Chain A
Amino acid sequence: MNPSSTPNRCPGPQPFQAPSRREFLKRTGNGFGLLGLASLLQTDLARAAVAVGSDNPLAARAGHFPAKAKRCIFLFMTGGPSQMDLFDPKPVLNTLDGQPLPSSFGKIHSQFVEADPLCLGSHRKFGKYGESGMDLSDLIPSMHVHGDDIALIRSCVADNVIHAPAMYQMNTGRTFMGYPSLGSWVTYGLGSESENLPAYVVMSQPEGTPEGGAPCWGAGFLPASYQGTLFRPGPNPILNLKPTSRDQSLPQQRRTLDLLRQMNQTDLDPGDSELSARIASYELAFRMQSEAPDAVDLSRESTATRSMYGLDDARTAEFGTRCLLARRLVERGVRFVQLYSGGGPVAMQWDAHDDLDANHEKMCGLTDKPVAALLKDLKRTGLLEETLVVWGAEFGRTPVAQKGSRGRDHNATGFTMWMAGGGVKGGRVVGATDEIGLNAIEDRAHVNDIHATILHLMGLDHKQLTHLHNGRDERLTDVAGKVITKLFA
Chain B
Amino acid sequence: MPFLGILLVLTSLASVDDVAPPESFKPEQKGHWAYQVPKRPAAPAVREAKWIRNPIDQFILSGLESVGFVHAPDSDKVALIRRVTFDLTGLPPSPEEVGNFLRDKSADAYEKVVDRLLESPHFGERWAQHWLDLAHYADSNGFELDAERPDAWRYRDWVIKALNQDLPYSDFVRLQIAGDEVAPGDHDALIATGFGRCGPREVVGGNIDPAVRRQSELTEITGTVGSVFLGLTMGCARCHDHKFDALPTTDYYRLQSCFAGAEMIDRPIATPEQEKLIKDAITAIDAQIAPLRKSMAELEAPYRKSIQERKEATLTEEEHKLLALPEQDRTPAQKKKAIGVRESLRVSWEDVLEAVSHIPNDRAERERLKRAIHDLEVTKPRPAAKAMALAEPKPEAPDTYVYRRGDVALKGPKVAPRPPGIVIANLPDHSFPDSFEATESNSGRRKALADWLTRPDHPLTSRVIVNRLWMHHFGRGLVATPSDFGVRGEAPSNPELLDWLATELVAQGWKLKGLHRLMVTSATYRQTSSLGEPDSPLRKQLADDPDNTLFSKMNRRRVEAESLRDAMLFVSGEYNTKFGGPGVLVPIEREVEDLIFTEAEVVHLWPVTPDQTEHNRRSIYLFRKRNVRYPMFDAFDAPDTQTACPQRLNSTHALQPLVMLNSDFALGRAKALAGRLLEDVCECCFDPKVDLAYQLTLGRHPTEDEVGHARDFVDSQSEFLRRRAAKGEQSLTLPTFLPEAMELAIAAAWVDFSLAMLNRNEFVYIP
A, B from the same assembly: yes
Given contacts A164-B144, A252-B721, A256-B755, contact A282 B657 (CB under 8 A): yes
Residue of B nearest to A269 (CB): B531
Q: Which of B169-177, B289-297, B376-384, B589-597 contacts A (4 or more CB under 8 A)?
A: B589-597
Bitwise interface map of B from 337 to 365 toward A, beta carbon under 8 Å scored 1, else 0: 11111011010101000000000000000
B215 to chain A, nearest CB (A): 12
Contact check, A13 vs B144: say whether CB atoms are below 8 A apart: no
Contact check, B63 vs A11: say whether CB atoms are below 8 A apart: yes
Chain A, range 161-189, C-beta contacts under 8 Å to B: 162-165, 167, 176-178
| Complex Cα–Cα for A224 and B244 (A) | 29
Instruction: Count residues of chain A with CB under 8 A from any CB of chain B.
Output: 120
Chain A, range 203-252, C-beta contacts under 8 Å to B: 204, 206, 208-215, 218, 220-225, 227, 229-230, 232, 238-249, 251-252
Q: Which of A63-71, A273-281, A455-463 contacts B (4 or more CB under 8 A)?
A: A273-281
In the assembled complex, A47 has its CB within 8 A of some CB on chain B: no
A311 to chain B, nearest CB (A): 22
In the assembled complex, A116 has its CB within 8 A of some CB on chain B: yes
In the assembled complex, B753 has its CB within 8 A of some CB on chain A: yes
| Complex Cα–Cα for A401 and B493 (A) | 63
B336 neighbours in A (Cβ, 8 Å): 114, 116-118, 403-404
Most-contacted residue by chain B among A3, A27, A225, A471 (CB, 10 A): A471
Q: Which of B16-24, B271-279, B564-572, B634-642 contacts A (4 or more CB under 8 A)?
A: B634-642
A209 neighbours in B (Cβ, 8 Å): 594-597
A132 to chain B, nearest CB (A): 37
Partner pick for B344 among A212, A257, A406, CB 8 A cutoff = A406
A15 neighbours in B (Cβ, 8 Å): 545-547, 549
Contact check, A245 vs B667: say whether CB atoms are below 8 A apart: yes
| Complex Cα–Cα for A163 and B205 (A) | 11
Given contacts A164-B143, A212-B144, A240-B663, contact A251 B720 (CB under 8 A): yes
Partner pick for B713 among A110, A255, A282, A472, CB 8 A cutoff = A255
Partner pick for B629 among A162, A214, A407, CB 8 A cutoff = A214
Contact check, B756 vs A263: say whether CB atoms are below 8 A apart: yes
In the assembled complex, B49 has its CB within 8 A of some CB on chain A: no
Contact check, B664 vs A163: say whether CB atoms are below 8 A apart: no
Given contacts A214-B628, A256-B752, A470-B646, contact A405 B144 (CB under 8 A): no
B479 to chain A, nearest CB (A): 9
B contact face: mostly helix, strand, loop, or mixed: loop
In the assembled complex, A39 has its CB within 8 A of some CB on chain B: no
Contact check, A249 vs B653: say whether CB atoms are below 8 A apart: no
In the assembled complex, B306 has its CB within 8 A of some CB on chain A: no
In the assembled complex, A48 has its CB within 8 A of some CB on chain B: no
Most-contacted residue by chain B among A1, A248, A406 (CB, 10 A): A1
Q: Which of B96-104, B614-622, B758-766 contacts A (4 or more CB under 8 A)?
A: B758-766
A31 to chain B, nearest CB (A): 13
Most-contacted residue by chain A among B705, B721, B756 (CB, 10 A): B756
Chain A, range 1-45, C-beta contacts under 8 Å to B: 1-4, 9-13, 15, 17, 20-21, 24, 27-28, 32
Contact check, A223 vs B627: say whether CB atoms are below 8 A apart: no
B653 neighbours in A (Cβ, 8 Å): 57-58, 223-225, 281
Most-contacted residue by chain B among A198, A206, A212, A239 (CB, 10 A): A239
Contact check, A13 vs B490: say whether CB atoms are below 8 A apart: yes
Contact check, B761 vs A262: say whether CB atoms are below 8 A apart: no
In the assembled complex, A52 has its CB within 8 A of some CB on chain B: no
Residue of A nearest to B638 (CB): A224
Contact check, B491 vs A3: say whether CB atoms are below 8 A apart: yes
| Complex Cα–Cα for A28 and B5 (A) | 11
Contact check, A404 vs B556: say whether CB atoms are below 8 A apart: no
Partner pick for A223 among B649, B730, B752, CB 8 A cutoff = B649
Partner pick for B233 among A1, A249, A263, A472, CB 8 A cutoff = A472
Q: Which of A312-320, A340-348, A372-380 contacts B (4 or more CB under 8 A)?
A: A340-348
Q: Which of B113-121, B149-157, B185-193, B494-502 contacts A (4 or more CB under 8 A)?
A: B494-502
In the assembled complex, B200 has its CB within 8 A of some CB on chain A: yes
In the assembled complex, B544 has its CB within 8 A of some CB on chain A: yes
| Complex Cα–Cα for A111 and B204 (A) | 10
Residue of A nearest to B655 (CB): A229
Given contacts A15-B549, A99-B333, A472-B233, contact A344 B599 (CB under 8 A): yes
Contact check, B658 vs A259: say whether CB atoms are below 8 A apart: no
A176 neighbours in B (Cβ, 8 Å): 200, 642
Partner pick for B67 among A10, A13, A284, CB 8 A cutoff = A10
Partner pick for B765 among A225, A241, A243, A268, CB 8 A cutoff = A268
In the assembled complex, A488 has its CB within 8 A of some CB on chain B: no
Residue of A nearest to B486 (CB): A471
Contact check, B144 vs A163: say whether CB atoms are below 8 A apart: yes
B309 neighbours in A (Cβ, 8 Å): none
Contact check, B756 vs A112: say whether CB atoms are below 8 A apart: no
| Complex Cα–Cα for A252 and B723 (A) | 12
In the assembled complex, A260 has its CB within 8 A of some CB on chain B: yes
| Complex Cα–Cα for A114 and B335 (A) | 13
A178 neighbours in B (Cβ, 8 Å): 200, 640, 642-643
Partner pick for B591 among A227, A239, A272, CB 8 A cutoff = A239
A17 neighbours in B (Cβ, 8 Å): 490
| Complex Cα–Cα for A2 and B495 (A) | 6
| Complex Cα–Cα for A232 and B733 (A) | 26
| Complex Cα–Cα for A401 and B492 (A) | 60
A200 to chain B, nearest CB (A): 11
Partner pick for A354 among B343, B496, B595, B759, CB 8 A cutoff = B343
Partner pick for B652 among A32, A112, A225, CB 8 A cutoff = A225
21 contacts between A and B (CB under 8 A): A9-B67, A10-B550, A11-B63, A20-B490, A116-B332, A116-B336, A162-B204, A164-B144, A212-B627, A213-B596, A213-B597, A221-B649, A239-B631, A239-B655, A240-B663, A241-B662, A247-B731, A259-B756, A262-B709, A282-B657, A470-B483
What are the 10 closest A-B residue pairs judged by CB atoms, nearest first? Answer: A178-B642, A404-B340, A405-B340, A12-B493, A223-B651, A164-B144, A213-B627, A471-B484, A285-B657, A111-B206
**A interface residue numbers (CB < 8 A to B):** 1-4, 9-13, 15, 17, 20-21, 24, 27-28, 32, 55, 57-58, 98-100, 109-114, 116-118, 162-165, 167, 176-178, 198, 204, 206, 208-215, 218, 220-225, 227, 229-230, 232, 238-249, 251-253, 255-257, 259-260, 262-264, 266-269, 271-272, 274-275, 277-279, 281-282, 284-286, 288-289, 343-347, 354-355, 401-407, 470-472
Q: For the A-B complex with A244-B662, A268-B767 known, give 6 more contacts whose Cβ atoms are closer than 8 Å.
A: A15-B545, A15-B547, A210-B597, A232-B594, A268-B765, A404-B340
